[in-house]
Amino acid sequence: MFDIERWQEIFDTIRKNKLRTFLTGLSVASGIFILVILLGFGQGMQNGIANEFEGDANNLLGVWTQVTTKEYKGLNPGRPIILSNRDYDYIESKYSDILEFKSPNLRIFNASINYKNESGAYQVQAVAPNYQQIENAEMLQGRFLNYKDDASVAKVAIISKKIREELMPNEKNPVGKELKISDLVFQIVGVFSDKGGDFDESRLYIPQSTGQRVFNRGDSLSMMYFTLKPQATFEKTLAASNKFNSEIETYLKQVHTVAPDDGSAINTFNTLENVKRFMGMMKGIKLFFWFVGICTIIAGIVGVSNIMLIIVKERTREIGVRKALGAKPWSIVWMILHEAVFVTAVSGFGGLIFSMGLLEFIGPKVEVDYVLNPSIDFNVAVTTVLLLIFAGAVAGFFPAWRAASIKPIEALRDE
Amino acid sequence: MIEIKDLHKSYKMGSNSLHVLKGLNFNIKEGELVAIMGSSGSGKSTLLNILGMLDELDEGSYTLDGVPIKNLNETKAAQYRNKFLGFIFQSFNLINYKTAVENVALPLYYQGVNRKERQEKALKYLEQVGLKEWAGHLPSELSGGQKQRVAIARALAAEPKVLMADEPTGALDSQTSYEVMDLIQKINDDGNTILVVTHEPDIADMCKRIVHLKDGVIVEDKKVDQVRASQYV
C-alpha cells in the first residue's frame, strides 16, 4: 500500500502547484477551524451557564411577598402581605419528608457595621443553619450558624470574605473578634465565601431569632427558602417541585386572605424552572452551532470538490500525456485521490491542531459572562476531520474517474 | 514489426458514418523509417492513433511485434503503450510543471523503475538529444526545438519497439525541423523503428519509405533514397 514512488510523485506535484494546494488546504482548514471554534464556544456557554447555577442550590424554591393588587372578601387592594414564622413552621412540618434544606430569611438592608475604627453598610440576613446549603456558602474560617445559636438567641455573626477584606484587612483570623451591627455587639464565629460573587458576599448572617428580636421585627420574615430532595430523574424532581410550589402558594393565599388570582401578593421563584429553561436554550444553541458547523463543513466539502473538478479539468491534457506514456486508468485515479486526500488530511489536521491550540490557550482566559473554558471533545473533532477527508475523497473520485476514462487521444486534443 | 491487414475505421458523425480508413494493408519491418503522408482528412492521423493504441480499429487486424492488438481494455492498452511505443507529438505535450529530466523520466515511472535509475536513464537520453545541461529547466524555459528534443528523449526513455511521431516538425521553423529530423535519423541509424506522420514532402523525403494516403486508401507505397538532414544543419 505504501508506495514511496507514488508519494514522491505526489510531493512533486504538490510542491510545483503551491497555489492550488494552498487554496484546497485553506478551504478545508478554515472549515475545520470554524467548526471547532463554534463547538468549543457552545461547550463554553454550557460550562458558563452550569457555573452560574453552581452559586446556588439547583432546585431552590423561594417565596416572597408584596402588596395585594385585587380586592378580596371585602379587603382593599394595596394591603401589604408579610410572611411570618407560623407560615414557615406550617410548611416545614407539613412537607418535612420531601424537603431537603429550608430556611426562613429576614433581611435588614444597609445595616451599619463597625469593626474597631472601620465601618461600612451591608445587608444583614437573619437565617437558619440550613441557609449555608441553600446559598452554597463555603466556610473559610470558623463555622456557620447552628441550632444552638438560634435557640439561645445568640449574638453571633458570620461575615463574608469581602467584609473581612474591607473592614479588617489586617486581621488574618477574625473568628472570636467582636463587631457592631447597628451599635449592638456581635461575636464573629465564621467567615464564608460564595461563588455567587460580589452580590452574595455583600452581607453577613445572624441567627433568625436574634435578627427578629434585636431589629424588633416580631415574627415577620422577608422570604422563605426551600430545596426539595432530588428524585430519580430531573423530570420527576421538576414535577414534585412544581406541585410543592403551587400547594404552598395556595396555602399562603388562603392564610393571608389573598385573592386566588392575585398574581402579585405572593410570589415564588423556582430555580429548577430556570435550569430547565436554560437547558432548553442551551440545547437550542448547541443545535444551532452544530448546524452552522455542519454547513461550514459542507461548504468545505463543496469547496474541495470544486477545486478537484478544476484540477482535473486543468490536468486533462497532462492526464492524456500520462496515459499515452503508459499510465493505467487506476494509477491516474489514485494519483488525483492520493493528492486530494493528502492535502485534505494535512490541512484538516492542521486546522484542527491550530483551533484546538487556540481553544487550549485562549479558552481558560475567556472571562465573559455565560462563557467558561470553551473546549471541544477531541473525538468529535477528529471524527469531523476524518469525515471531511472521506468526503473529499468521494468528491474527488468522480472527476478523477471521469478523467481517467477519457481516451488519451481526446485528452491530448484538449486545449 | 507492424502488420496491418484490411484495416477499416469509421467515425459516427450524428446519423452519418464517416469512413476514414478503407481497408489498409501494409507491413513495417524492424529498423524502418516510414513517413505516412497525405493531405488533411486523408486519415493519416487516424492511422497513427490506431497504431499507437490511442484509438480502436473497427475491422481488420493489427499485430505489433507478434502481439495481436485487439479488444484491449484501458489497463492492457496502457501496458502495451508503455512497453512498445514512444510518442512524439506536434505540440510536444510536455508536462509544464516538470523539468526536462522529470519529463523524460515519466514513462520510466510507469514502468516501475526506481527513482535513482530513472534519473540516470533520463539524463542519458537527454545527453543523447544534446540537452544534458538543460535537464533542470522547465519546458517554458526551452525553445520549440529544445522542447521537441526533450519529447524525443522521453519517447526513447521507455526503450520502445516503435517510435510514433505525429507531425513532429509541424510547430517548428524549417531550420529547427531539420535539426529534429537529423536527430530522428540518427535514432533510426541506431536501429529503432520510427513512423512519422507528416504532410511536408521535404520531411517525408528524409525517411526511407513513404506511404501515401488519400481518402482512406494507400495510393502509393515506395522506398526512397533518404535525404540526410545533417547537410542542412
From chain B residues 145-164, the ones with a CB under 8 A of any chain A CB are 154, 158
Q: What pLDDT is attached to residue A1?
A: 41
Alpha helices, DSSP H only, in A256-327?
271-314, 316-324
**Mean of pLDDT values over A371-388:** 80
**What are the pLDDT digits (tens) for A135-193?**
888 999 999 999 999 999 999 999 999 999 999 988 889 999 999 999 999 999 999 99
Q: What is the DSSP letter of B227?
A: P
Nearest CA in chain A to B82: A326
Residue A237 phi/psi, 5-degree rounding, is -60, -45
- Res A276: pLDDT: 78
Does residue A56 have a pLDDT over 70? no
Q: Do A225 and A268 touch, CB atoms closer than 8 A? A: no
For B167-184, letters b (16+ CB in 10 Å) and e give bbbbbbeeebbbbbbbbb
- How far apart are the CA of A329 and the nearest CA of chain B, in angstroms? 6
What pairs with residue B198 in β-bridges? Answer: B37
pLDDT(A400) > 70: yes
Three-state secondary-structure class, residue A121:
strand
- Mean pLDDT computed over B40-46: 83
- CA gap A388, A304 in Å, rounded: 9
CA distance A150 to A209: 6
Between these two residues, B138 and B13, which has the higher pLDDT value? B138
Least confident of A85-94, A219-228, A371-380, B110-119: A371-380
Gap between the Cα atoms of A207 and A148, Å rounded: 9
Query: What is the Cα Rg of chain A in Å?
Result: 34
Strand (E) or helix (H) holding A56: none
Q: Report how far residue A297's alpha carbon sits from residue A286's, in angstroms, rounded to the nearest whole number.
A: 16
Per-residue pLDDT tens digits for A225-246: 999 888 777 778 888 888 999 9
Chain B residues inside the 8 Å CB shell of A323: 78, 81
- Residue A230: strand, helix, or coil: coil
What is the C-alpha separation between B208 and A98, in angstroms, rounded? 111
String of DSSP letters for B45-92: HHHHHHHTTSS--SEEEEEETTEE--S--HHHHHHHHHHHEEEE-TT-
Dist CA A404 CA B123 (whole Å): 29
Can you give the pLDDT at residue B13?
A: 80
pLDDT of A191 reads 94
Write out A355-376 in H/E/C secondary structure: HHHHHHHHHHHCCECCECCCCC
Q: What is the mean pLDDT of residues B137-155?
A: 91
| Joined grid coordinates for residue B42 | 486523408
Q: Output the nine-digit C-alpha cell for B18.
A: 464517416
DSSP letter (8 states) at residue A98: T
Query: Do residues A359 and A375 lie in contact, with contact meaning Cβ atoms separated by under 8 Å?
Result: yes
Contacts of B49 in chain A (CB under 8 A): 409
If you ran DSSP here, which 8-state letter would residue A263 be given? S
CB A174 within 8 A of CB A92: no
Report which residue type is found at A371: V
Structure confidence at residue A58 as a pLDDT band (50, 70, 90): low
Q: Given pLDDT bands bounded at 50, 70 and 90, which one contains residue A53?
A: low
pLDDT at A264: 87
What domains can be seen in chain B, in order of their start residue? 2-94+146-231 (3.40.50.300)
Q: With a cut of 90, say whether residue A41 has pLDDT above it.
A: no
Q: Give chain A positions within 8 Å (CB) of B114.
A: 5
Helix (H, G, I), strand (E, B) or coil at A130: coil
Q: Is the pLDDT of residue A96 over 60?
A: yes
Whole-number pLDDT of residue B114:
87
Average pLDDT over residues A295-321: 81
SS3 for B106-161 is HHHHHHCCCHHHHHHHHHHHHHHCCCHHHCCCCHHHCCHHHHHHHHHHHHHHCCCC
What spatial distance separates the first Cα and last Cα of chain A, rounded to whole Å? Answer: 35
User: Which of A320, A321, A326 lies nearest to residue B78, judging by beta carbons?
Assistant: A326
Mean pLDDT of A362-370: 73
Shortest CB distance from B97 goes to which of A17, A329, A331? A17
Chain B closest CA to A354's CA: distance in Å? 31
Helix axes A271-314, A316-324, angle to 10 degrees: 50
The reported pLDDT for the residue numbered A297 is: 77
pLDDT value of position B71: 81
Whether residue A250 is predicted with pLDDT greater than 70 in this model: the reply is yes
Nearest chain A residue to B84, by CA: A326
**A330 contacts B87? CB cut-off 8 A:** no
Q: Residue B147: list chain A partners with CB under 8 A.
A: none
Tell me which range, A189-198, A210-219, A311-320, B35-44, is most confidently predicted by mean pLDDT.
A210-219
The answer to whether residue B140 neighbours chain A at the CB level (below 8 Å) is no
Percent of chain A having pLDDT more than 70?
Answer: 96
Banded model confidence at residue A344, pLDDT cuts 50, 70, 90:
confident
Which of these ranges, A83-92, A299-308, A354-363, has the smallest mean pLDDT?
Answer: A299-308
Report residue A314's pLDDT band, with 50, 70 and 90 as the boundaries. Answer: confident
Q: What CA–CA distance (Å, rounded) separates A106 from A131? A: 12
Domain assignments of chain A as residue spans, ordered by start: 4-53+277-413, 60-270
**Short-list B159, B214, B183, B185, CA closest to B38:** B214
pLDDT of A368 > 80? The answer is no
Sequence-distant (≥ 6) Cβ neighbours of residue A142 within 8 angstroms: A158, A175, A188, A189, A190, A191
Span B38-64, average pLDDT: 86
Give the mean pLDDT of chain A.
Answer: 85
Q: Quick check: B35 and B211 in contact, CB under 8 A?
A: yes
- The reported pLDDT for the residue numbered A206 is 95
Distance from the A337 Cα atom to the nearest Cα atom in chain B, whole angstroms? 17
Distance from the Cα of B93 to chain A's closest Cα (Å) equals 6
To the nearest whole angstrom, how far is the Cα of A399 from the nearest Cα of chain B? 17
The mean pLDDT value of chain B amounts to: 89
Q: Is-contact A184 A112, C-beta < 8 A?
A: no
CA B13, CA A403: separation in Å to the nearest integer? 23
Among the ranges given (A103-112, A239-248, A335-344, B85-94), the one the predictor scored with the smallest mean pLDDT: A335-344
Q: What is the pLDDT of residues B192-203, one digit of tens each?
A: 999 999 888 989
Mean pLDDT is highest, among A179-193, A271-285, A323-337, for A179-193
DSSP H helical segments within A55-146, as ranges? 85-94, 131-135
Rounded Cα gap, residues A97 and A135, in angstroms: 21
Count of CB atoms situated within 10 Å of the CB of B7: 23
Contact A16 B97 (CB under 8 A): yes
Nearest CA to A266 among A66, A102, A70, A103?
Answer: A66
What is the reported pLDDT for B195?
92
Residue with cell 494535512: A346
Nearest beta carbon to residue A324 from set B87, B98, B102: B87
The pLDDT of residue A288: 86
What's the confidence (pLDDT) of residue A57?
52
> Are the CB atoms for B168 and B184 separated by under 8 Å?
yes
